């Protein structure tokens, strides 16, 4: 008895000495799965009440109101009174690359040295066991783009699914985008802490254009290089942007200022790239132009202050509605790093409070995002043929008052919604004798 007691004490000590996070990726599920009696938010703007979703081998087979559920041998989730959504997609993040950014350099792998790094691949450094990941699933985020930073061309990003043992298993769309950061065209606003920069505004713009030209030269030479069938010297950097020219990759241009976005449009025109703007704070000012040039936008920070004191207090909140009105394809991101992306859905909620319909707001974190990341063929909405990436919530997932995720499925696998956070919660509820 004593021995057993000691053993269990040792075991529990060992358990606690590790991170408390002992949440496991789900086992594959190949059978039939039905989600019944639910309100299905398709992701494309449609809502179906009292619907059933039929899933087989991880794929959605049918969605409808008259789907019979066979008896036995199948998994059935009764979602009566609940809301069913496509799995939310985080369009831009350093997930799995950055663990503890402040003061713990060793936990960070998101920014490489060098200026032109198209050959850098974020996915290979993706830590599938990052303590951030389970927290996101519990809020309905099932897929995320993990993006390298630094330099002018940062490298390629990949989409990962958030329930995996390692990066190869996590990879959902590999190297689907090349990321470039455009230099600022405007002198930064001086603040109390940062006195004004002496450089003149036009000099800053001139320098920026020089940098842009340098990047263009890179792409011009890449185009020439890629037209060659054999090379005497293989150039990994030039090879790395091949997908941009054959459109298997998109160019993600990190840009917030109007002038930066005009440069992005210019990239699309000169090279024929599919261009996505990331950031887009000032995109509302040139929305029709973006639409005309088929430029998509990922809005980085919905919950932001206006960029000038004179701007409408709700400008960042209503920017999505302005893009929607202009017909621009856009997705919402949550880059408020203190909460580490878990509030993605609430950015959509705010966008809806300030002009988008509920379903338009949902599209901005599901189907629109999938389209922009080039994965709409297999996810982003609850439609037949797509992966069963599905979230079930007690109520409106975009409103924190009701957003309580009860189930989540990635490729049909029901994933564990526990995390280190829920485990610590239980642990200390136990300590205080609370339930």
Partner 1 sequence: MKKIIFFWLYSVATGGIYAQQTFPVNGVADERSGTYIFTHATIVKDAQTTLQNASLLIQKGKIVAVGNDIAVPKNAVVVDCKGKYIIPSFIDLYSDYGITVASRSSGGFSYSAPALLISNTKGAYGWNEAIKADAEAAALFEADNDKAKTFRDIGFGTVLTHRKDGIARGTGTLVTLANKKENLVIIKEKASAHYSFSKGMSAQSYPTSLMGAIALLRQSYLDAAWYKSNPTAEGVNLSLQAWNNNEPLPQVFDANDKWADIRADRIGDEFGVQYIIKGGGNEYQRIKEIAATKATFILPVNYPQAMDVEDPDNARLVSLNDLKHWEMAPVNAAAFEKAGIVFCLTPADLKDPKQFLPNVRKAIENGLSEQKALEALTKTPATLLGVYDKVGSLEAGKLGNFLIASGPVFKEKTIVYQNWVQGEKYAVQEADWNEIKGIYSLVLYSGKGNINYTINVKNARAASIINADTLPVKFNFNGRLVSLNFQPDKKSKSFIRLSGVVNDDGSWKGNGTGVDGNSLLWTALFSGTTTIKPDSASLPGDLPMAKITYPFGSYGWDELPKQETLLFKNATVWTGEAEGNLANTDVLVKEGKIARVGKNISNMSGARTIDATGKFLTAGIIDEHSHIATVSINEGAQSVTSEVRIGDNLNPDDINIYRQLAGGVTSSHILHGSANTIGGQTQLIKLRWGANDEGLKFKDADPFIKFALGENVKRTTSPVNNRFPDTRMGVEQVLTDAFQRAVDYENALKKVSVGTGKKKQAANPFATVRRDLELDALVEIMRKKRFITCHSYVQSEIIYAMRVAEKFGFRINTFTHILEGYKVADKMKAHGANVSTFADWFGYKMEVADAIAYNAAIMQKTGLNVCINSDDAEMARRLNQEAAKTVKYGGVPEEEAWKMVTINPAKALHVDDRTGSIKTGKDADLVLWSENPLSIYAKPEKTIVDGTVYFDLEHDLQLRRTIAEERNRIVQKMIGEKKSGAPVATFKPSTYITLSCGDDHENDDEQINMQ
**124 touches partner 1 (CB under 8 A):** no
In terms of CB distance, is 95 or 244 closer to partner 1?
Answer: 95
Total Cβ atoms within 10 A of residue 358? 17
- By C-beta, is 110 or 409 nearer to partner 1? 110
Q: If binding is defined by CB under 8 A, does position 202 make contact with partner 1? A: yes
Which of 43, 91, 349, 412 contacts partner 1 by CB under 8 A? Answer: 349
Q: Which is nearer to partner 1, 193 or 233 (CB)?
A: 193
Binding-site member from 31, 64, 70, 190 for partner 1 (CB under 8 A): 190
Pick from 99, 274, 387, 414 the residue near partner 1 by CB under 8 A.
99
- Best CA proximity match to 160, nearest among 247, 89, 253, 58: 89
Is residue 306 a contact residue for partner 1 (CB under 8 A)?
Answer: yes
Residue 430 near partner 1 by CB under 8 A: no
x/- letters, 319..348, toward partner 1 (CB under 8 A): ------------------xxxx-xx--x--
Name the DSSP letter for residue 184. P
Q: DSSP letter string over 407-434?
A: EEEETTEEPP---HHHHHHHHHHHHTT-
CB of 354 to partner 1, least distance (A): 8
Tokens 């239980």, residue located:
426
Nearer to partner 1, 57 or 108 (CB): 108
Q: How far is the CB of 110 from partner 1 (least distance, A)?
A: 10
Of residues 174, 124, 125, 168, the one with CA closest to residue 145? 174
φ, ψ for residue 347, nearest 5 deg: -65, -40
Angle between helix 258-271 and helix 201-227 axes, rounded to 10 deg: 20
Reduced to 3 states (helix: H, G, I; strand: E, B; else coil), residue 63 is strand
- Both tokens of 146, joined, read 């993990």
Residue 93 burial by Cβ neighbours in a 10 Å radius (0-12, 13-18, 19+): buried
Signed CA dihedral, 340, 342, 344, 349: sign only? negative
Q: What is the smallest separation between the CB atom of 119 and partner 1, expressed in angstroms? A: 22
CA dihedral 42, 43, 44, 46 (to 10 degrees): 40
Q: Which is nearer to partner 1, 109 or 239 (CB)?
A: 109
Q: Tell me if 422 contacts partner 1 by CB under 8 A.
A: yes
Task: Quickly count: other Cβ atoms within 10 Å of residue 69's Cβ.
Answer: 13
Give the chain's end-to-end CA distance (angstroms, integer).
Answer: 30
Taking CB under 8 A as the rule, does residue 15 contact partner 1?
no
d(CA 218, CA 254): 17
Q: Is 103 in the site for partner 1 (CB under 8 A)?
A: yes
Residue 48's Cβ-count burial label (10 Å; 0-12, 13-18, 19+) is middle
From residue 140 to residue 179, the character string flagging contacts with partner 1 as x (rule: CB under 8 A) and all else as - is ----------------------------------------
> Which of the stretches 158-166, 169-177, 239-247, 426-434 binds partner 1 when contact is defined by CB under 8 A?
426-434
**Among the candidate windows 175-183, 210-218, 245-253, 307-315, which touches partner 1 by CB under 8 A?**
307-315
By CB under 8 A, name the one of 352, 368, 379, 411 that touches partner 1: 352
Q: Give the tokens for residue 151.
A: 């330099």
Shortest gap between Cβ of 132 and partner 1 (angstroms)?
Answer: 6
Q: Which is nearer to partner 1, 111 or 223 (CB)?
A: 111
Is 84 or 286 the residue whose CB approaches partner 1 more closely?
286
Chain residues binding partner 1 by CB under 8 A are 99-105, 108, 111, 131-132, 135, 185-196, 200-202, 257-259, 303-306, 308-310, 312-314, 337-340, 342-343, 346, 349-350, 352-353, 398-401, 403-404, 420-422, 424-425, 428-429, 432, 434
């Amino acid at each position: 008895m004593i021995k057993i007691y000691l053993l269990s004490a040792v075991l529990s000590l060992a358990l606690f000495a590790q991170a408390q996070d002992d949440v496991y990726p789900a086992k594959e599920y190949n059978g039939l799965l039905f989600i019944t009696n639910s309100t299905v938010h398709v992701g494309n703007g449609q809502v179906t009440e009292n619907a059933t979703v039929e899933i087989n081998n991880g794929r959605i087979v049918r969605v409808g109101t008259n789907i019979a559920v066979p008896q036995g041998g199948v998994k059935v989730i009764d979602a009566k009174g609940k809301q069913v959504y496509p799995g939310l997609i985080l369009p831009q993040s350093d997930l799995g690359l950055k663990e503890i950014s402040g003061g713990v350099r060793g936990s960070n792998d998101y920014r490489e040295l060098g200026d032109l790094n198209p050959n850098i691949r974020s996915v290979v450094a993706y830590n599938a066991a990052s303590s951030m990941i389970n927290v996101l699933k519990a809020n309905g985020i099932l897929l995320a783009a993990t993006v390298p930073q630094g330099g002018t061309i940062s490298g390629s990003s990949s989409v990962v699914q958030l329930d995996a043992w390692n990066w190869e298993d996590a990879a959902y769309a590999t190297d689907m985008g090349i990321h470039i950061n455009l230099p600022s065209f405007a002198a930064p606003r001086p603040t109390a802490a940062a006195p004004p920069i002496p450089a003149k505004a036009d000099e800053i713009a001139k320098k920026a254009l020089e940098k842009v030209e340098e990047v263009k030269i890179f792409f011009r030479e890449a185009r020439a290089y890629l037209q060659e069938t054999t090379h005497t010297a293989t150039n990994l950097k030039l090879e790395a942007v091949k997908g941009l020219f054959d459109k298997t990759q998109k160019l993600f241009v990190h840009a917030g200022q109007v002038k930066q976005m005009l440069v992005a449009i210019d990239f699309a025109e000169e090279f024929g790239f599919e261009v996505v703007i990331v950031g887009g704070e000032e995109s509302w000012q040139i929305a029709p132009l973006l639409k005309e040039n088929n430029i998509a936008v990922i809005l980085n920070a919905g919950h932001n202050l206006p960029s000038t004191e004179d701007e409408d207090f709700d400008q960042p909140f209503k920017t999505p509605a302005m893009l929607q009105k202009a017909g621009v394809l856009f997705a919402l991101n949550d880059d408020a790093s203190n909460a580490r992306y878990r509030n993605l859905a609430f950015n959509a909620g705010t966008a809806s409070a300030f002009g988008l319909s509920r379903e338009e707001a949902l599209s901005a974190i599901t189907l629109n995002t999938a389209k922009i990341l080039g994965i709409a063929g297999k996810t982003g909405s609850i439609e037949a043929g797509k992966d069963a990436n599905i979230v079930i919530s007690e109520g409106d997932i975009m409103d924190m008052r009701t957003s309580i995720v009860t189930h989540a499925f990635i490729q049909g696998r029901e994933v564990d919604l526990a995390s280190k956070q829920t485990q610590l919660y239980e642990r200390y509820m136990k300590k205080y004798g609370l339930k």
